[in-house]
Amino acid sequence: MKPWNVRIGINPISWSNDDLPALGGETSLETALREGAEIGYQGFELGNKFPQEPTALKAKLAEYGVACVSGWYSGLLAQGSVVDEIERCKAHMAKLQFNDCRVVVYGEVAGSIQGRIDTPLARRPRFSDDAAWHAYGQRLDAFGAHLKASYGLTLAYHHHMGAYVESPADVDRLMAVTSDNVGLLFDTGHAYYGGASNPVALLEKHLKRVVHVHCKDVRPQVVAQARNDGWSFLDGVINGTFTVPGDGVIDFAAVLGTLHAGGYEGWLVVEAEQDPSVAPSYAYAKKGYETLAAHVAALSG
């Protein structure tokens, strides 16, 4: 069995949360990079504390011997135009291209309530009809084609709680109204929280479209309470809906085995929003890495 061509990365949200600065806001970027590299992570996704200038970013990552995995891009195509998106994305995409990224994490934020702590998830936006879905798919396709042609980047669409594409049915619909110009960022935690009690079944359905993977685990009792009590997404984060692989109920042996069997190559990114005062950053990042590394080793023979 040949080695599996994947790398394990992490999002700095384990150390400090961009949406909730009170969670780890005092932790420096250098602390996150040093600890992540020490644990064994090969790359980092970007956050607000990273340098924005492309050469400065490359130099900072090189100090710690880690790669730039990708970076979140806040898209507005659910309500905006492709022309406007192409213009507003230039600096971000050029930064990712300069830093040798292959995918961009596209998060739809038009109408999203994911960052509103006072708004229950039930009030998330939804498309009104088939025509709206198809129009959205066409805009995403056009934007994805532009990113490939202009920057060599593949659009990795992040299904996300509180946004237009949240549930398994939403993911199904998104894949149906788009072409291969739009890749799927499969997020295990958001899949579960969004309604996929068995995330592997959703993964198997769309395996050929998966271009990037976020690995987060869930605490099912907290997810259940969040649903029953009508919490906002951020309320759930604060109270521990998510955790790192190996600390919840998601079967990562099955998730990674499915990815391996389907020929996935790329990054496996630990991304688990938690309060670091409750879930200490280093210990949990290490647990997430060791969980994934053990499965990758087993699959690599």
Q: Which residues on neighbouring strands pair with residue 266, listed in sequence order?
A: 6
Average pLDDT over residues 189-212: 97
Tell me: pLDDT of 159 over 80: yes
What DSSP line would sit under 210-266, residue for residue?
A: EEEEEE-EE-HHHHHHHHHHT--HHHHHHHTSEE-TTSSS--HHHHHHHHHHTT--E
Neighbours of 261 (CB within 10 A): 11
Q: Which residues on neighbouring strands pair with residue 103, listed in sequence order?
A: 154
pLDDT digits (tens, 9 = 90+) for 64-92: 999 999 999 999 999 999 999 999 999 99
Q: How far apart are CA 72 and CA 216, in angstroms?
A: 16
pLDDT digits (tens, 9 = 90+) for 28-60: 999 999 999 999 999 999 998 999 999 999 999
pLDDT of 187: 98
CA distances from 104 to 9, 74, 254 (A): 15, 10, 26
pLDDT of 273: 83
pLDDT of 30: 96
pLDDT of 113: 95
pTM attached to this predicted model: 0.96
Binned at pLDDT 50, 70 and 90, residue 279 comes out as confident
What DSSP line would sit under 129-194, residue for residue?
A: SHHHHHHHHHHHHHHHHHHHHHHS-EEEEE--TTSSS-SHHHHHHHHHT--TTEEEEEEHHHHHHT
Binned at pLDDT 50, 70 and 90, residue 24 comes out as low
CATH architecture, domain defined by 6-300: Alpha-Beta Barrel (3.20)
Q: How far apart are CA 36 and CA 216, in angstroms?
A: 16
Show me where the domains of the chain are located: 6-300
Tell me: pLDDT of 11 over 70: yes
pLDDT of 144: 98
Which one-letter DSSP state was computed for residue 126? -
pLDDT digits (tens, 9 = 90+) for 114-127: 999 999 999 999 99
Q: How far apart are CA 136 and CA 123, in angstroms?
A: 20
Tell me: pLDDT of 27 over 90: no
Measured in degrees and rounded to the nearest 5, phi and psi for residue 216 equal -135, 150
Q: How far apart are CA 181 and CA 260, in angstroms?
A: 22
256: its two tokens: 């990674």
pLDDT of 23: 67
Binned at pLDDT 50, 70 and 90, residue 132 comes out as very high
User: Strand 217-218 to strand 242-243: parallel, antiparallel, or no bridges (unpaired)?
Assistant: antiparallel
Average pLDDT over residues 189-197: 97
